[in-house]
Amino acid sequence: MNIEQLSKRLETVVSYIPTGSKIADIGSDHAYLPCFAVRKGIADSAIAGEVVQGPFLSAEKQVKDASLEDKIEVRLGNGLEVISPGEVDCIIIAGMGGALIASILEDGKEKLEGVERLILQPNVSAKSIRIWLIQNNWELTNEEIIEEDGKVYEILTADRGEPLRPYHEEGHQKGLLLGPFLMQQKNEAFQKKWMQERAQWKKILSNMEKAEQTGVLNERKVELMNKIQMVEEVLSN
Ligand code: SAM
């Protein structure tokens, strides 16, 4: 991967950036994404945020090597602390766990003024993000699930709007877990992900059952059984 040729995962993320945006890529690592988006004329300018010194230096080098210093600023700092309110209109946070992405958004809430789009690519637990979006009045407007090199990735896009619009009341819990858009499409990557998750939960459940007295129900077991049931309902529909 380089700034001319992104991974399919990052290219999918870029495809949701509105043309002409001022973007912030939080946890930018090598800064491939902002360099690509600015080079292609998709983003007008970018801030690449990094909390770790090593990736921060490699982002700086990447931007300098691409001669994009006039359009891309690399800043060292935790989460959204690298941006000021009103400075960007689109925030990208990719390649981290969903709980970490949600906590970055929560901790930097006051920096979201003027931001119109969030593009979030959690490696796990997209549910934490869907919950945060609802609690903070962001409407999930698009979801994509893709497979690359045997790994499955989810890309969530949110705009300011009506947070419950994509969810149907009776299927709300399923929507939070599986994604209201993704569970309609049920593409191959989706089926693969949830068949794997289901198999893993079943294994955990059976190990728990072996270790316990039969018939004992605890919270964790009930949670796993509910999740297995939700996944089975969606996959078989
Ligand atoms: N966004 C790139 C991508 O999707 O390919 C890089 C993903 S990399 C796995 C995660 C990066 O996020 C690391 O470089 C890490 O240092 C950075 N990171 C983790 N927590 C962060 C935080 N709170 N604020 C800024 N950067 C963070």
For residue range 1-30, list pLDDT tens digits in order.
777 889 999 999 999 999 999 999 999 999
Shared-domain flag, residues 40 and 140: yes
Average pLDDT of the residues of the chain: 95
Strand 21-26 versus strand 90-96 pairing type: parallel
Whether 202 and 110 map to the same domain: the answer is: no
pLDDT value for 215: 61
Q: Give residue 214's pLDDT.
A: 59
User: Which residues form the domain of 130?
Assistant: 8-166
Choose which residue among 10, 16, 32, 50 to substitute to test ligand 1 binding: the one with the highest number of ligand atoms within 8 A of its C-beta.
50
- Give a yes or no: residue 138 inside a domain: yes
117, 212: one domain: no
Same domain, 152 and 221: no
Which residue is closest in CA terms to ligand 1's atom 17?
27
Ligand 1 pocket, residue 96 CB under 6 Å = yes
Burial class (CB in 10 A: 0-12, 13-18, 19+), 96: middle
Instruction: Say whether both 155 and 196 belong to one domain.
Output: no
135 and 228 co-located in one domain: no
The ligand 1 atom at the shortest distance from the C-alpha of residue 121 is: 4
pTM of the model: 0.96
Note the pLDDT tens digit of each residue in 166-207.
Answer: 998 776 899 999 999 999 999 999 999 999 999 999 999 999
Number of domains in the chain: 2
Which ligand 1 atom is nearest residue 13's CA? 4
- pLDDT per position as a tens digit, 136-156: 999 999 999 999 999 999 999
